[in-house]
C-alpha cells in the first residue's frame, strides 16, 4: 500500500463512489477499538462482524490476523455496502503458538502463566473496504515483555472477568493488573487498533482526515 498510489486522497474520474463522502463503519463490537478510532475525530458507526476466528492448519499469526481482518471487513461491507468499512483483528503469538480469546477461566489462567516473564508478539491486521474499490490490507507487530506477576494476581484478574474478550487473555491498559513490563513498537496495536496504520489505510482509501489528530504511541526497549 502506497499513499501516492491509485487509492490515495485523489479520486479518479469514473469511480463509482467518492470515499470522502461515504459513511465510515467500524466492523467491530470492541469498545477498545471504538475508543481508539474516536481519536481520529471522524464520525463513524460501529456494528458487530461475526466471523469464525479459528486458525487454519499451519496458518501463521500474521496470516490469521490479515485473513480475519479481511473477513470482518467483507462482512461489514455486506451489511453496509455504500460505506467505507474498517475492520481489524489482533492475534497474540508466543513461541510459535497462537493465542486467541480464552474460552474458560482455566484457559485464561494457562495463557497468562505461559506469557508470564517472557516476550511475545502482538499482531493486528487492519482492512479498509471502500465501496467500489479493492480492499486495502496490512498488519503491524509489537514485541511485548510481560512482568513476573504472581499466581494470586492471575487468579484475581481472571476472577474480574476481563480476560475473556481479549487475545492472550490480558489488557495492556489495565491499571490494576499491569501485566506488561515493556514493549517495542506501537502501543495502540496492543490495545487492538494500530492508529498509525489505520490512518494510513483510511487516507489511501480516500477518506479525508483531520489535521493534528493523535495517531499513535510508540515505545522503544
Domain boundaries, the chain: 19-211
- pLDDT tens per residue, range 78-95: 999 999 999 999 999 999
Tell me if residue 89 is catalytic: yes
* 3-class secondary structure, 68: helix
**C-alpha span between 70 and 13 (Å, rounded):** 27
Residue 206's Cβ-side half-sphere holds a number of Cα atoms within 13 Å equal to: 24
Helical spans, DSSP H, in 30-101: 31-38, 61-79
pLDDT, residue 21, reads 86
Report whether 204 contacts 3 (CB < 8 A). Answer: yes
**20: confidence class by pLDDT, cuts 50, 70, 90:** confident
CATH code at 19-211: 3.90.950.10
Q: What is the mean pLDDT of the chain?
A: 89
Q: Is the CB of residue 106 less than 8 Å from the CB of residue 125? A: no
How far is it, in rounded angstroms, from Cα 103 to Cα 39?
31
Is the pTM higher than 0.85? The answer reads yes
Determine which one of 4, 50, 89, 165 is catalytic: 89
CA atoms within 13 A on the CB side of 113: 9
Element (H, E) at 129: strand 119-130
Amino acid at each position: 500500500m502506497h499513499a501516492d498510489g491509485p487509492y490515495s486522497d485523489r479520486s479518479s474520474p469514473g469511480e463509482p463512489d467518492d470515499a470522502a463522502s461515504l459513511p465510515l463503519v467500524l466492523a467491530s463490537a470492541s469498545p477498545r477499538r471504538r475508543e481508539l478510532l474516536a481519536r481520529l475525530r471522524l464520525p463513524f458507526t460501529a456494528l458487530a462482524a461475526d466471523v469464525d476466528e479459528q486458525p487454519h492448519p499451519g496458518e501463521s499469526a500474521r496470516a490469521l490476523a490479515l485473513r480475519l481482518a479481511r473477513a470482518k471487513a467483507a462482512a461489514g461491507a455486506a451489511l453496509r455496502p455504500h460505506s467505507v468499512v474498517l475492520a481489524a483483528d489482533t492475534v497474540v503469538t508466543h513461541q510459535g503458538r497462537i493465542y486467541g480469546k480464552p474460552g474458560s477461566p482455566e484457559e485464561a489462567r494457562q495463557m497468562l502463566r505461559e506469557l508470564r516473564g517472557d516476550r511475545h508478539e502482538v499482531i493486528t491486521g487492519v482492512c479498509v473496504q471502500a465501496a467500489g474499490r479493492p480492499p486495502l490490507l496490512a498488519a503491524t507487530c509489537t514485541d511485548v515483555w510481560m512482568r513476573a506477576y504472581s499466581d494470586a494476581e492471575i487468579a484475581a484478574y481472571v476472577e474480574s472477568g476481563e480476560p475473556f474478550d481479549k487475545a492472550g487473555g490480558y489488557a495492556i491498559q489495565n491499571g490494576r493488573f499491569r501485566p506488561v513490563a515493556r514493549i517495542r513498537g506501537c502501543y495502540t496495536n496492543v490495545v487492538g487498533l494500530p492508529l498509525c496504520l489505520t490512518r494510513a489505510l483510511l487516507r489511501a482509501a480516500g477518506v479525508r482526515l483531520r489535521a493534528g489528530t493523535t495517531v499513535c504511541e510508540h515505545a522503544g526497549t
